[in-house]
Amino acid sequence: MSDERDEAVPHLNAEEFRRLGHQMVDWIANYWARLESFPVRSQVAPGEVAAKLPLHAPEEGLGGGEGWDAVFRDLDAVVLPGITHWQSPSFFAYFPANASGPAVLGELLSAGLGVQGMLWSTSPAATELETRVLDWLAELMALPQAFRSTSGTGGGVIQGTASEATLVAMVAARARVRRQRPGDAPLVAYASTQAHSSVLKAAMLCGVARDASDTLHVRMVETDASYAMNPEALQRALGEDLAAGRQPFFVCASLGTTSSGAFDPLGPVSRAMGDTGVSAAGGWLHVDAAWAGAALLCPEYREPATGLEAVDSFAFNPHKWLLTNFDCNAFYTRDRSALLDALSVTPEYLRNAASASGAVIDYRDWQVPLGRRFRALKLWFVLRHYGAKGLRAYIREHVRLAGLFEDWVRQDTRFELAAPRALSLVCFRLAPRPGEAPSETDARNRALLERLNASGSAFLTHTVLPGVGGASARYVLRMAIGAPSTEERHVRACWEALQRLAET
- Spans of all domains in the chain: 115-373, 394-502
CB atoms near residue 492 (< 10 Å)? 14
As a whole number, mean pLDDT of residues 403-431 equals: 96
Q: How confident is the model at residue 3 (pLDDT cuts 50, 70, 90)?
A: low
Higher-confidence residue of 415 and 469: namely: 415
Enter the pTM of the model.
0.93
Query: What is the reported pLDDT for 165?
Result: 96
Question: Which pLDDT does position 467 carry in this prediction?
Answer: 82
**pLDDT(84) > 90:** yes
43 membership: H or E segment, kind and range: none
Helix pair angle (376-411, 124-140), 10° resolution: 30
Say if residues 491 and 411 touch (Cβ distance below 8 Å).
no
Q: Report whether pLDDT(152) > 60.
A: yes
SS3 of 208, please? coil
Q: Return the ∠ at Cα 107 (arms to 106 and 108), rounded to 5°.
A: 90
What's the pLDDT at 4? 58
Does pLDDT of 2 surpass 60?
no
Q: Check pLDDT > 60 for residue 413.
A: yes
- 182-186, 320-324, 417-421 — which is least confidently predicted? 182-186
Is residue 484 within 8 Å of residue 91, measured between CB atoms? no
Q: How far apart, in whole angstroms, are the C-alpha atoms of residue 32 and residue 465? A: 35
Q: Is the pLDDT of residue 261 over 90?
A: yes
Query: Which architecture characterizes domain 115-373 according to CATH?
Result: 3-Layer(aba) Sandwich (3.40)
Does the structure show a pLDDT above 80 at 196? yes
Q: What is the mean pLDDT of residues 160-173?
A: 95
pLDDT for 488 equals 97
Sheet containing 425-430, strands listed edge to edge, beginning at the edge strand earlier in sequence: 415-417, 425-430, 474-480, 461-465
Q: Are 172 and 338 in contact (CB under 8 A)?
A: yes
Question: What is the C-alpha to C-alpha distance for residues 60 and 58, in angstroms, rounded to an integer?
Answer: 6
CA-CA distance, 106 to 99, in Å (whole number)?
Answer: 11
Residue 225 β-bridge partners: none
User: What separation in angstroms does the CA of 402 have from each of 302, 407, 492?
Assistant: 18, 9, 11
Q: Distance (Å, rounded) from C-alpha 348 to C-alpha 474?
A: 57
Average pLDDT across the chain, whole number: 93
pLDDT of 59 strictly over 90: no
pLDDT above 70: residue 46: yes
Average of per-residue pLDDT across 370-378: 93
Read off the pLDDT of residues 421-469 as tens digits, 9 standing for 90 and up: 999 999 999 999 999 999 999 999 999 999 999 999 999 999 999 987 7
Q: Rounded to an integer, what distance in angstroms lies between the CA atom of residue 162 and that of residue 289?
A: 8
Where is mean pLDDT largest: 203-217, 230-244, 364-378?
230-244
Q: What is the percent of the chain where pLDDT is above 90?
A: 82
The three-class DSSP label of residue 285 is strand
Strand (E) or helix (H) holding 478: strand 474-480
Given a cut of 80, whether residue 202 has pLDDT beyond it is yes
Q: What is the fold of 394-502?
A: Aspartate Aminotransferase, domain 1 (3.90.1150)
Share of the chain above pLDDT 70, in %: 97
**Distances in Å between the alpha carbon of 264 and those of 146, 251, 426, 440, 456?**
21, 11, 18, 32, 35
Which H or E run includes 396?
A: helix 376-411
Which span out of 177-186, 206-215, 291-300 was modeled with the highest average pLDDT?
Answer: 291-300
Give the mean pLDDT of 190-199.
Answer: 93
pLDDT digits (tens, 9 = 90+) for 10-20: 888 899 899 99
Strand order in the sheet with 187-192: 155-159, 329-333, 313-316, 284-288, 247-254, 187-192, 218-221
Q: What confidence score (pLDDT) does residue 503 get?
A: 79
- Judge whether residue 300 has pLDDT over 60: yes
The confidence score (pLDDT) of residue 137 equals 97
Which whole number is the average pLDDT over 283-299? 97
Q: What would the mean pLDDT of 398-422 be, rounded to a whole number?
A: 96
